Structure 1
Amino acid sequence: MPVCRIDDPAGQGPGGSRRRARREGDPAGRALGSARRRPDVVTEGEPPDAPSAAFDSAVATRRGDDGTTGLLFGGPRVRKDDLRTETYGTIDEAVAALGLARAQLGVKDRLGTLNVGFGELPAILLRLQRELFAAAAELATQPDAWDRQQDGVSRVSQAMVDGLEGMLREAEAHITMPAEFVVPGETPTSAAIELARTIVRRAERRAVALGSEGLIPGPHLLPYLNRLADLLWVLARAAEQAEARSAPPSRPDRRRAATTRSDR
């Protein structure tokens, strides 16, 4: 089964990619032939002292050793510092940060099924992680393949945005909202969620720049990232309050104050 990661969306498995590479003359996938070369002779496109072609891995294909990566549905490879790669790579970071938050919930058995009033937090975080795969896929597609994307699978849909807004309303109705800015870090889980929130904001900023170049195919990606960051801030507060904790205010001279949804 081919391996597919957000950081390598083409998901090239080692077998097929090496066979194609051999046909195309790609040194990363070419097996040693009968011709021998002196060790100081370097073929064009091949790094000096290239590793043995006997190397085999289900993950590493060597195709990215030149600093490029493949996108979904094929097409030209792009540089790994391309703005698209940077943006969906940032989304990959957010997925990992949410995974850290979800792992924190399993550290204590009593938090393993933490209910924040509108659902179990581990299940909510897992849902968000899965949805971010669709967001990353939308960005990791060449423009000439945008018509092959599917809503909710390889492109953010309106239903995904609506789902976040529904969770946001539920969350705000079940927690006590701080009256001012707070300092993250009151609990390990809330701190990890806050980290994910800031990464989502960075992805949003990258996506805005990408959109200015006409490289976002659908209209829902930016609203989704914006709403997700808002939701994660509220989820961090919910995680704290589920443990009877509250984050300190950003100003040291202010007492911890809070308001309910109806007071806002």
Structure 2
Amino acid sequence: MGRVHGKIVVVTGAASGIGRACAIHLAKEGAKVVLTDVQTDKLNATVEEIVSNHGVAIGLSHNVAAEEDWDSVMKKAVATFGTVNVLVNSAGIGNKTDTIEEWNRVLSVNLTGSYIGMKHVIPIMKEAGGGSIVNIASLAGLVGGGFNGYAASKGGIRAISRAAAVDYARDNIRVNSVYPGLIITPMTEGILHHEQMKKHFEERTPLPRFGTGEDIAYGVLYLASDESSYVTGTELVIDGGTTAK
């Protein structure tokens, strides 16, 4: 307990899936957490769960593709807790079609949303003397994951994470990215009901199970904590061994 005690953490996409697991674990380890999402009912339920377990958390409605929302979230976080020490960019969506409209929608949430968040938190972290940014990417950003906006967005996260890690290291701002394999979340759970796709992913994954949000949260917790104070620009792959094959 207490691995991120007293740190002020903003977690996007915190209503469900990986973001929810990250917010809960960070709060358990002593962080004061600002949870954001567009799914306000689920978001509020997560906040209530954290608070009922003696954690400190607030929830804010937040469209990560809108810069004015980011401005509002950061101002509220600073007004409530004094600063922001950690940003976890977890909000993300998948492709539904192959239209240019869908391409733009996915990139606006997954990539532009992460970029805007970094842009708005970096000045706050500079003033605080440093901080940690953790961007949730995907194996689709490392290996062939489909000719679509989702893969492009995750590859883009990889690029901007590395660039920011170099540009802001002298400000004691660490920037790392996490690459989940198949993680069972509301966005991916349909795979379990599609036998052919389920078999495909089972054959690709050496460990005999799919991942959970908690598997990713433990990695994020490390990168958010001072235990990783000499870690920046790294790419943490949590994929059950998929990329080892």
Normalised to the residue count of structure 1, the TM-score between the two structures is 0.29
From the two aligned structures, give the one with the greater strand fraction.
2
Q: TM-score, normalised by structure 2?
A: 0.31
